[in-house]
Amino acid sequence: MTWNTTNLDELPVYEKLAKLARNPFDLTAPGAISPERIKTYKSSGSGFDLLFSTQRIDDAVINGLQQLADQSGALDQFHAMKGGAVMNRIDGHESEERQVLHTACRDIFNETPCHVVATGQAMQELEKLKAFLAGLDKGQLVNEQGEAYTDYVNIGIGGSDLGPRAIYFALAAYSLKNRRVHFISNVDPDDAAAVLRKLDLSRTLVGVVSKSGSTLETLTNEEIVRAAFVGAGLNPAKHFIAITGQSSPMDNPEKYLQSFYMYDYIGGRYSATSMVGAVMLGFGLGYDAFIEVLRGANDMDMAAEERDIRRNPALLLALLGIWNHNFLGHETVAVLPYSQALLRFPAHLQQCDMESNGKSVTRNGEKVSGFTGPIVWGEPGTNGQHAFYQLLHQGTTVVPTEFIGFRQSQLGSDLLLKGTTSQEKLVANLLAQSLALATGRKDDNPNRFFGGNRPSSILLSDKLTPYTMGGLLALYEAKIVFQGFIWNINSFDQEGVQLGKVLANRFLEHLNILRQAGGKDSEQYPESWAMLEAAGIFKEE
């Protein structure tokens, strides 16, 4: 399968958009954000509305962005990815050479899956999970004292922690009675200690998540937790579950109660709808709730295939990001969910976006000629309004913003105060911030002058449910890969993570030499020995 690998600045529409960017739409002009514009500048799909009237665009820019999507072959590449093309590669250079099939995990609802083998494997693992969870629910799978398991500890890092953790926190309102989920990710021993001290280990299951079965931080934390079980007189093999690659060192029935498989064609940061997230979410929320997450994600995957960007929120959000980043020159993007339940979702997007698109080499192995992935950050509103919004409104850096909101609260517990509910106050603040950033305010007092023309978009859905959470996750996954296709970079490897791991292992070898031999060998790698000494990790006699 071949596809267009032309760089962004080589596409025919590039010069047109660059020219339009020299005089972008003025959001502060009288009547600029009219009721008609607000009504028209709206894209809908799979339960989400994307409102983008507060972006610095007009119809000419929208038409140019449509041409950009078409000329880059973004949709064709998305179809190729779902069908099993080897997208994780760099032409002419050694690379991972893998398919990218995270969408196959939720393609189970379609009569004709895009990739039959991958979807079949996903269904096989789901059947294993369904049986496992049924054993817990029916009291057939209990601890050695015949008691039900009440707690689950997820040990993983990166994509094995951030996405699943964000989803669990988002959907904690739907958690099963007498089921709690905890997370250990940081190799900092205090992370594990803080979780372990509040658990009844005899009633706890531990899911260890590592595709290779060799992730240093994860295996270190696993051994800390195993030691705690042994210290409590418990057999870890009756409590530990492996979520790993088939035939990895962790695929060992002597050490684990059960194994669930993850596959090379699903990258860690795209793995939340695979067994990486499924086992933990199934325990905490129930099997049916996890299936709803998959259903929402699959529906958004289907909506992302729409060629008209006005009917494809994921593609349009990707194109608006490129307009702001590559043509208007804004280096960061803030993702601000007006939902406390989504407090960890920006952290997941930091990894998913910046690990995917933080690249400076094209898929042809050449240096990129323009900007690729932006810096992604964010916190929930309205808390952020009392923290960093000052910079958003009046700082010298323009930060494009993506607001996320819901028309209804999750729990339905609310109070009418001064004529409005708390949820109405929350949504009103979201809408007001978007409008204020766009229009600004003139004032003779320079300290109270707001320049405006600070672009934003609003993603809205009715309620944060398992279904809409799946849709939101898939929307951002699609946005990220669309941008990577348009930038002609490989959004599916992470070589930048590897160098630090290599050097960390060198430092650990030095510390082992110190511990075993009582001295140092500074002839090899003297700079790392010197850094250890300067950091006060050891003192030379």
Residue 355 annotated in active site: yes
Residue 501 annotated in active site: yes
Rounded-to-integer distance, Cα 18 and Cα 65, Å: 11
> What b-and-e string marks burial along 349-383, b requiring 16 or more CB atoms within 10 Å of the CB?
bbbbbbbbbbbebbbeeeebeebbbbebbbbbbbe
Residue 386 annotated in active site: yes
What is the chain's length? 541
Q: Position 39: which residue type?
A: K
Q: Which of 335, 333, 415, 430 is nearest to 374 (CA)?
A: 333
Distance of CA 278 to the CA centre of its chain: 15
Catalytic residue among 39, 238, 442, 501: 501
What percentage of the chain's residues is helix, strand, coil (to nearest 5)?
50, 15, 40
Are the CB atoms for 74 and 485 separated by under 8 Å? yes
Q: Which of 323, 324, 479, 447 is nearest to 397 (CA)?
A: 324
Catalytic residue among 222, 355, 402, 477: 355
Structure tokens at 539: 């003192």
Name residues whose C-beta falls within 8 Å of residue 189's C-beta, 6 or more positions apart in sequence: 224
Rounded-to-integer distance, Cα 199 and Cα 183, Å: 12
Pairing label, strands 456-461, 401-406: parallel
Rounded-to-integer distance, Cα 69 and Cα 486, Å: 8
Name residues whose C-beta falls within 8 Å of residue 248's C-beta, 6 or more positions apart in sequence: 210, 211, 212, 213, 214
Are the CB atoms for 8 and 72 separated by under 8 Å? yes
Q: Which of 259, 261, 206 is nearest to 228 (CA)?
A: 206
Instruction: List, in sequence order, the alpha helices (H) in 186-312.
Output: 189-196, 216-231, 275-285, 287-303
Residue matched to tokens 């629910």: 137
Are the CB atoms for 147 and 202 separated by under 8 Å? yes
Rounded-to-integer distance, Cα 98 and Cα 85, Å: 8
Structure tokens at 217: 């931080």
Q: Which of 157, 122, 127, 168 is nearest to 345 (CA)?
A: 168
Assess whether the previous peptide bond of 382 is cis (omega < 30° from 0): yes
Sheet holding 48-51, edge to edge: 42-45, 48-51, 456-461, 401-406, 332-337, 375-377
Catalytic residue among 177, 198, 367, 386: 386
Q: Which of 476, 509, 145, 196 is nearest to 342 (CA)?
A: 476
- Residues with a catalytic annotation lie at 355, 386, 501
